[in-house]
Amino acid sequence: MPDSRTAPARIAETLRTATDLLQRAGVASADVDAQLLLAHVLGIGRGELHAAVVRGDEVPEPAASAFAALLARRAAREPLQHLTGTAPFRHLELKVGPGVFVPRPETETVAQIAIDALTAAASPEPIAVDLGTGSGAIALALATEVPHARVHAAENSVDAFVWAKENFIAVGASNARIAFVDLAEAFPELDGTVSVVVSNPPYVPDGAIPRDPEVRDWDPPAALYGGADGLDVVRVISGVARRLLHPGGTLVLEHGEWQGAPIRSLLTADGWLAAATHQDLTLRDRATTAVRS
């Protein structure tokens, strides 16, 4: 009797079909996402996946069924990082999922500015504070890339704190600690001793609903929206950072591409010096720095 079961599809064919599905669903990086999801299901890296394509390998069961299920969720615009459970950030691989803001590539530029300022600090053991650490991305980048520094991270969302704590444990940086605390009250014991304060605060104006479903429907609202002009939390951070930083210390703020000028005005009015806006790798305004007077 002939075998009526469907023969396993080759990886190359599976990827073509998956890419087409994701393109029709409006996913901008359809080919990359299809590769990352299939590699995740197969438990291999993208390089190994490409080698398997060249060899003409097939997708075995139950991997094919697991991939189909994840593909359907990605086509429904659930974030890729929620499906794989991880998000890359600089040299780190962070655990993420519902309830925490997924770190973006553009924030790596913000982290670099903070790393440069921390490295240049005239102290054998400079102190940095990350306000609203989310997944812990910036704080852990600082701690691992400037190992002689001490890094303190504050988070005020229970859901995000759970993810950040897992990442702090996984990375195991002995020079970093995280605290669950209201940002306005963070680390009073450090007042006047900090060299760098960095933050990626919620900065989307309440009326500016993001277009991408991955952001609009999945990122926690508390990590996105910052009041009518998007700057409510920035105003809080300006005051907290002035309390924490020593004179000459640096504040680094991530923001939207149209917010550089209003943030510079806000910081200057608060008494900050040398407010300047910096672009990310896409040449969009992404961060503003200022110096504590």
Per cent of the chain over pLDDT 70 is 98
Residue ranges covered by each domain of the chain: 11-76, 87-291
**How does pLDDT run across 217-239, given as a tens digit for each residue?**
999 999 999 999 999 999 999 99
| pTM for this prediction | 0.91
Mean pLDDT of the chain: 95
* pLDDT, position 268: 98
As a whole number, mean pLDDT of residues 252-260 equals: 96
Which residues, in sequence order, are CB contacts of 189 under 8 Å at separation 6+?
Answer: none
Per cent of the chain over pLDDT 90 is 94
Q: Measure the CA–CA gap between 39 and 26, rounded to whole angstroms.
A: 21
Q: Measure the CA–CA gap between 49 and 12, rounded to whole angstroms.
A: 9
**How does pLDDT run across 81-138, given as a tens digit for each residue?**
999 999 999 999 999 999 999 999 999 999 999 999 999 999 999 999 999 999 999 9
As a whole number, mean pLDDT of residues 53-76 equals: 94
Q: Measure the CA–CA gap between 289 and 143, rounded to whole angstroms.
A: 20
Q: Measure the CA–CA gap between 218 and 200, rounded to whole angstroms.
A: 18
Predicted confidence band of residue 209 (pLDDT cuts 50, 70, 90) = confident
Selected from 3.40.50.720, 3.90.76.10, 3.40.50.150, 3.40.190.10, the CATH number assigned to the domain covering 87-291 reads 3.40.50.150
* pLDDT, position 5: 55
